[in-house]
A and B are shown apart, each in its own frame.
Chain A
């Protein structure tokens, strides 16, 4: 069974640009979560999508946005990039909002903002 896949693996942008990261969940999973893993800060919750709807978002500015497509894949967009947005962005999926606890993570997309 294919795991959660993320693309691109690495992305280099400059300040002010926009970045788009993509995630394909495990087949049959309807929930997608996005986390930011910045150096020394652990995993910070960004966004949660389920069945195409945004269910919750973390304490991040509005320039962090995303969406979930009908096939449950998801996209994270970061506008007006700032240097501190440099981080590993992890996507995770789970079977749905009523299921508990276990998230299946991708390998991440490393974003570098110069």
Chain B
């Protein structure tokens, strides 16, 4: 069975400091991983996907198959980054569904 683990429920950093939100997964096949974000009073939305190897709003995430991790990183946090972040994994094959982690609430302090 697939599983996504986000070990930190809460994470606080100061503005300008680096931030890393941890995500580990377990899945027997070849995973597709995503980060979703929910800003205050907004809908849950896609932030980035590993397959695109993109940087969105300064965030990057690298898939490490050896460590089964997909940590989200940003070198210099901004106050507007404060939000709830969810790591998610999609199963391959016909039963394609997103499995979410429990989320990490990031607070960037001034």
Enumerate chain A interface residues (CB-CB to B < 8 A): 3, 33, 35, 40-43, 45, 48, 55-56, 58, 90, 92, 97, 100-107
Contact = CB atoms under 8 A, between A and B. Distances in A.
A101 B49 contact: yes
B103 A101 contact: no
A92 to B, nearest CB: 8
Contact of A33 (B32, B95, B97): B97
In order of increasing CB-CB distance, the 10 nearest A-B pairs are A42-B102, A43-B100, A105-B44, A56-B95, A102-B46, A105-B43, A42-B103, A48-B97, A101-B49, A56-B97
Nearest to A97: B96
Contacts of A43: 44, 86, 100, 103
Interface residues of B, number: 21
A103 B46 contact: yes
Among A43, A90, A102, A104, the most chain B Cβ lie within 10 Å of the Cβ of: A43
B49 A102 contact: yes
B97 A101 contact: no
Interface in B84-105: 86, 90, 94-103
25 contacts: A33-B98, A35-B100, A40-B9, A40-B102, A41-B102, A42-B86, A43-B86, A43-B100, A45-B97, A45-B98, A45-B99, A48-B96, A55-B94, A55-B95, A55-B96, A100-B32, A100-B51, A101-B32, A101-B49, A101-B98, A102-B34, A103-B98, A104-B45, A105-B43, A105-B45
A42 B95 contact: no
Contacts of B96: 48, 55, 97, 100
Contacts of B101: 42
A90 B49 contact: no
A97 B90 CA distance: 12
